Amino acid sequence: MRTAPPPHGRPMTPLERFGIMLPIVQAPMAGVSTPALAAAVSNAGGLGSIAVGATDAAGARAMIAETRARTARAFNVNLFVHAPARPDAAREARWLAALAPLFRGHGAEPPAALRSPYRSFAHDDEMLALLLESAPPVVSFHFGLPAADRIAALRGAGCILLATVTSPAEARLVEAAGVDMVVAQGWEAGGHRGVFDPAARDARLGALALTRLLAARTRLPVIAAGGIMDGAGVRAALALGAVAAQLGTAFVLCPESGADAGYRTALAGPGAARTAVTTAISGRPARCLANRFTEWAAEAPGDPPDYPLAYHAGKALHAAAKAAGEDGFGAHWAGQGAPLGRAMPARELMELLRRELAAA
Amino acid sequence: MRTAPPPHGRPMTPLERFGIMLPIVQAPMAGVSTPALAAAVSNAGGLGSIAVGATDAAGARAMIAETRARTARAFNVNLFVHAPARPDAAREARWLAALAPLFRGHGAEPPAALRSPYRSFAHDDEMLALLLESAPPVVSFHFGLPAADRIAALRGAGCILLATVTSPAEARLVEAAGVDMVVAQGWEAGGHRGVFDPAARDARLGALALTRLLAARTRLPVIAAGGIMDGAGVRAALALGAVAAQLGTAFVLCPESGADAGYRTALAGPGAARTAVTTAISGRPARCLANRFTEWAAEAPGDPPDYPLAYHAGKALHAAAKAAGEDGFGAHWAGQGAPLGRAMPARELMELLRRELAAA
């Protein structure tokens, strides 16, 4: 699984040292990426990713085991490292009251109260123990960084560490923390923005500008993300100085993804041309195909509860609407390149990306 | 001035037919780009641009004559094609009242009333006559498209036509109008966003996603713009399928630009890391270095008057503040790549870009 030395005599990146042969990372997408998808990407020479942020240590153990059963190659396990939600009963009650007509329009009632549907890795000792025991080849952080002792422990277990950043300032924190590589998440990217502090002003740096700023000014290797859908996009990321590109939306239409039929239909249709960033679905900014939820959110009264408290309501609303035959409240995460999606098995998509990259 | 055929046997682009040897367009920047800057860029093998949107036909005549005196090569003349402002006395009075404390803080009074500081090419017959007479090699449109008869007349005069777009939908309008090329202006770009309808929802497409979407789905050649500052960025644009890259902010620190000392100091300093899109300065969304004006705008009461009525107030406020020694109200347009700016003569910058592009 070791590769030839990289071109131009530059040092090997951590991914190359792990035997990654194509500079392509399949983005971790909680609820959408699966062990089957990750393994297919890794088996094709890229870096597949599973996301365990929305499950617990037992769930993560099962996902890691399934991934290992499907591939002998390196893969990535992604963690949510958000500041835990600050409960605010009044704000939560206002939010549920605002959502209530949407629930009732689908024959359901909103939850009586909101709870966080999962824990942050920042405070999840069971997840840490599981990771130290299973030692996945790559571990990545989203929404921030865990404490220094957790980073040191994971490094001690042999894990290569990645962290999503959306700005040079966040990249400096990652560099200082001893993480190995940064994922430069541009404004185009689908799903949750990895901003460390959702209350801070978001510079909304586009993928082209962010990747170049980080590649030119950071010592860490950069993985570019946001709006990249094909080999031309991967080639552009490399031209900007990235060592690899991370693609998420490009893999959602693969049969191996966990996307449901409504999500696939929306993503494959003309609606792929319009995405929106909203905090209404989960409590944190995330880019989604424009749908009834984002339309409602554009006029929503007040701010949602903290992430992931709001996600409890968002998931419940989607479930209620879907049960009534309405797919327009799904968390249909998608990046700005969504119209360029191709529906095919992950192995075929990786082969296509390889050919496009060689031709670009 | 004719070049060798392009690589890979693809057809020559309109710019190549015009003898452009480097796939680099210096962005038109009204008030900042100058005939000297445009000529230096064109003489170095790129496409220099002057912007005549903020002047009248007599001013444009002088700028075109000066550019021609400095270069025998092709250059671009940029026009503003905005829908004229709809006067709204009450809104203008509210806006002036809101700005009044800022004027008075610098020992000045706001204008008694607002007028548009310049005309749209959509309705400027003198400008059309001047262009038909002088027939610049390239003419570009910003903020929209002129009527079909104006486009036909300019084409008849031998002008290659470009139009800025920010979305695939705008690109389809440009294609249908018979314009030769699109400038894909990404969210990262400094200065005024070229959105055709500022009241419509702006998808804020990043340069990477927009360029790839247009290159993959439009028949017109694409010039990529937004956040591109160096040869690596130009190479990335080409990898995405663009035929050239347009750089604006990269040229502001050239001695040939019209930027004043306050603008240069701000752009060369740590403040280059933070830009903001605001409508407060001119009435249309534009990306600017964060300064006292954008800070005020973030909390501004109500919407500004239509473009370019609001710009009358914005320019007057900057003049008053600058006279009092305060540069923080300048229209310091800059893209998200601003920290990568290099201060050097345009000829040297073009040579550096050429070397970087060859190495990337």
**Which residue from B minimizes the CA distance to A236?**
B236
Q: Using CA atoms, how far apart are residues A63 and A60, in angstroms rounded to an integer?
A: 5
pLDDT of B44 higher than 90: yes
**Which residue from B minimizes the CA distance to A274?**
B203
pLDDT of A5 higher than 90: no
Q: What is the pLDDT of residue B332?
A: 98
Q: Using CA atoms, how far apart are residues B205 and B163, in angstroms rounded to an integer?
A: 17
**Is B208's CB within 8 Å of A239's CB?**
no
Q: Does B168 touch chain A (CB under 8 A)?
A: yes
Contacts of B270 in chain A (CB under 8 A): none
Q: What is the pLDDT of residue B8?
A: 56
Please state the rounded mean pLDDT for residues B153-166. 98
Cα angle: B224, vertex B294, A294; to 5 degrees:
65
Closest CA of chain B from A312, distance in Å: 28
In order, the DSSP letters of A194-216 are: --S-TTSPP----HHHHHHHHHH
Q: What is the dihedral of CA B36, B37, B42, B43, to 10 degrees?
A: 60
Q: What is the pLDDT of residue A221?
A: 96
pLDDT of B7 higher than 90: no
Q: What angle, rounded to 10 degrees, do the helices at A89-104 and A309-323 form?
A: 10
**Which residue from A minimizes the CA distance to B287?**
A203
Q: Does A216 touch chain B (CB under 8 A)?
A: yes
Q: What is the pLDDT of residue A198?
A: 96
CB atoms within 10 A of CB B125: 11
Please state the rounded mean pLDDT for residues A107-130. 97
Name the average pLDDT for chain B.
Answer: 95
Distance between first and last Cα of chain B:
25
Q: What is the pLDDT of residue B14?
A: 79
**Which residue from A minimizes the CA distance to B235?**
A239
Closest CA of chain A from B206, distance in Å: 5
Q: Does B339 touch chain A (CB under 8 A)?
A: yes
pLDDT digits (tens, 9 = 90+) for A56-106: 999 999 999 999 999 999 999 999 999 999 999 999 999 999 999 999 999
Q: Using CA atoms, how far apart are residues A21 and A243, in angstroms rounded to an integer?
A: 12
Does an H or E element contain B163, and which? strand B160-165
Closest CA of chain A from B7, distance in Å: 12
Residue-range domains of chain B with CATH:
1-84+119-255+345-360 (3.20.20.70), 86-115+257-339 (no CATH)
Q: What is the pLDDT of residue B15?
A: 81
Contacts of B231 in chain A (CB under 8 A): none
Q: Does A230 touch chain B (CB under 8 A)?
A: yes
Using CB atoms, pick whichever of A226, A239, A273 lies closest to residue B236: A239
Q: What is the pLDDT of residue A23?
A: 96
**Is A208's CB within 8 Å of B216's CB?**
no
pLDDT digits (tens, 9 = 90+) for A185-243: 999 999 999 999 999 999 999 999 999 999 999 999 999 999 999 999 999 999 999 99
Alpha carbon distances (Å) from A225 to A183, A209, A211: 7, 11, 8
Contacts of B335 in chain A (CB under 8 A): 209
Using CB atoms, pick whichever of A227, A232, A241 lies closest to residue B206: A227
Q: Which of B252, B190, B200, B195 has its CA nearest to residue B225?
A: B190
CB pairs under 8 A between A and B: 125
Contacts of A239 in chain B (CB under 8 A): 232, 235-236, 238-239, 360
Tokens of A286: 């995330």
Closest CA of chain B from A285, distance in Å: 15
Q: What is the pLDDT of residue B4?
A: 47
Q: Does A213 touch chain B (CB under 8 A)?
A: yes
Q: What is the pLDDT of residue B13?
A: 81
**Is A232's CB within 8 Å of B240's CB?**
yes
Which of A167, A212, A222, A295 to substitute to test the interface with B, most B CBs within 10 Å? Answer: A212
**Which residue from B minimizes the CA distance to A298?**
B201
Q: What is the pLDDT of residue A4?
A: 47
Name the average pLDDT for chain A.
Answer: 95
Q: What is the pLDDT of residue B285?
A: 98
Q: Which of B255, B193, B258, B250 has its CA nearest to residue B63?
A: B258
Q: Which of A135, A130, A85 has its CA nearest to residue A284?
A: A85
**Which residue from A minimizes the CA distance to B290?**
A203
Tokens of B358: 């060859």
**Is A212's CB within 8 Å of B340's CB?**
yes
Query: What is the total residue count of chain A?
Result: 360
**Is A203's CB within 8 Å of B241's CB?**
no
**Is A229's CB within 8 Å of B212's CB?**
yes
Q: What is the pLDDT of residue B2?
A: 39
User: Whose structure tokens read 């500081």?
Assistant: B117
Q: Using CA atoms, how far apart are residues B208 and B215, in angstroms rounded to an integer?
A: 11
Using CB atoms, pick whichever of B206, B227, B232 lies closest to residue A336: B206
Ramachandran quadrant class, B241 (left: phi over 0; alpha: psi -120 to 50; beta: rest): left
pLDDT of B302 higher than 90: no
Q: Does B10 touch chain A (CB under 8 A)?
A: no
Q: Using CA atoms, how far apart are residues A360 and B241, in angstroms rounded to an integer?
A: 9
**Is B208's CB within 8 Å of A275's CB?**
no
CB atoms within 10 A of CB B187: 31
The one-character DSSP state at A277 is E
pLDDT of B1 higher than 90: no
CB atoms within 10 A of CB A298: 12
Contact A134, A172 (CB under 8 A): no
**Is B336's CB within 8 Å of A210's CB?**
yes
How far does CA B235 lie from the centroid of its chain? 21
How far does CA B90 lie from the centroid of its chain? 30
CB contact residues (below 8 A), chain B span 232-251, against chain A: 232-233, 235-241
pLDDT of A300 higher than 90: no
Q: Which of B153, B240, B261, B29 has its CA nearest to residue A234?
A: B240
Contacts of A203 in chain B (CB under 8 A): 274-275, 336
**Is B186's CB within 8 Å of A204's CB?**
no
pLDDT of A32 higher than 70: yes
Contacts of A212 in chain B (CB under 8 A): 227, 229-230, 232-233, 236, 337, 340
Q: Using CA atoms, how far apart are residues A32 and B344, in angstroms rounded to an integer?
A: 49
Using CB atoms, pick whichever of A206, A235, A340 lies closest to residue B226: A206
Closest CA of chain B from A152, distance in Å: 31
**Which residue from B minimizes the CA distance to A341?**
B213
Closest CA of chain B from A86, distance in Å: 26
pLDDT of A127 higher than 70: yes
Which of B165, B208, B352 to substitute to test the interface with A, most A CBs within 10 Å? Answer: B208
The beta strands (E) that lie in A204-248 are given as: 222-225, 244-247
Please state the rounded mean pLDDT for residues B167-171. 98
Q: What is the pLDDT of residue A17?
A: 79
pLDDT of A2 higher than 50: no
Q: Does A132 touch chain B (CB under 8 A)?
A: no
Q: Using CA atoms, how far apart are residues B209 and B227, in angstroms rounded to an integer?
A: 13
**Phi and psi of A130, rounded to 5°?**
-60, -40
**Is B213's CB within 8 Å of A339's CB?**
yes
CB contact residues (below 8 A), chain A span 254-293, against chain B: 273-275
pLDDT digits (tens, 9 = 90+) for B195-204: 999 999 999 9
Cα angle: A185, vertex A194, A183; to 5 degrees:
40
Q: What is the pLDDT of residue B336?
A: 98
Taking the CA of residue A58 as centre, how many other CA atoms within 13 Å lie in the half-sphere pointing to its CB?
0
